[in-house]
């Protein structure tokens, strides 16, 4: 069964550094998403992306965040200047309608 893949599985970065989290969605899917889960808290919606543009974003998704689909297969989340509070598990997901298919996540640790 096709699956969403995320790399790396764990990334450690210093505060203030830029980080790019990578995702390869399921190949025929049209909708792409990023969610995150801060340790001990709920899984939270960050952004949805369709037809090469953001379709919806949460208040968490401020100017420090950006998403891109640089080619036909990758979907990336960039955090420009990481803060300690950005430490979380970041999940990529894709779909055509329902349900969402999630990747295994990237654990981001900001030190």
Partner 1 sequence: AQSVTQLDSQVPVFEEAPVELRCNYSSSVSVYLFWYVQYPNQGLQLLLKYLSGSTLVESINGFEAEFNKSQTSFHLRKPSVHISDTAEYFCAVSVNQGAQKLVFGQGTRLTINP
For residue 72, what are the CA distances in angstroms to 10, 51, 58? Answer: 24, 12, 25
Structure-token pair, residue 10:
């764990």
Residue 43 beta carbon to partner 1: minimum distance, rounded to whole angstroms: 4
Nearest-angstrom CA–CA distance, 34 and 88: 12
- Closest CB to partner 1 among 42 and 71? 42
What is the Cα–Cα distance from 6 to 23, expressed in whole angstroms?
4
Count the residues of the shown chain that bind partner 1, applying the rule CB under 8 A. Answer: 25
The one-character DSSP state at 28 is T
48 lies in the binding site for partner 1 (CB under 8 A): yes
Judged by CB under 8 A, does residue 11 bind partner 1? Answer: no
Q: Residue 94 interacts with partner 1 (CB under 8 A)?
A: no
Nearer to partner 1, 8 or 16 (CB): 8
- C-alpha torsion 104→49→25→15, nearest 10: -50
Binding of partner 1 by 28 (CB under 8 A): no
Contact with partner 1 (CB under 8 A) among 94, 95, 108, 110: 95
* Cα–Cα distance for residue pair 82/75, rounded to 1 Å: 19
Which spans of this chain sit near partner 1 (rule: CB under 8 A)? 4, 6, 31, 33, 35, 41-45, 48, 55-56, 91, 93, 95, 97-105
């Amino acid at each position: 069964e096709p699956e969403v893949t995320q790399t790396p599985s764990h990334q450690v970065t210093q505060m203030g550094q830029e980080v790019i989290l990578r995702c390869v969605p399921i190949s025929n899917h049209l909708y792409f998403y990023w969610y995150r889960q801060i340790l001990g808290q709920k899984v939270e919606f960050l952004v949805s992306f369709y037809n090469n543009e953001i379709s919806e974003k949460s208040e968490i998704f401020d100017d420090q965040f950006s998403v891109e689909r640089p080619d036909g297969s990758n979907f990336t989340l960039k955090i420009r200047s990481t803060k300690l509070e950005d430490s979380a598990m970041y999940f990529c997901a894709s779909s055509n309608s329902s349900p969402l298919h999630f990747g295994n996540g990237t654990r981001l640790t900001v030190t």
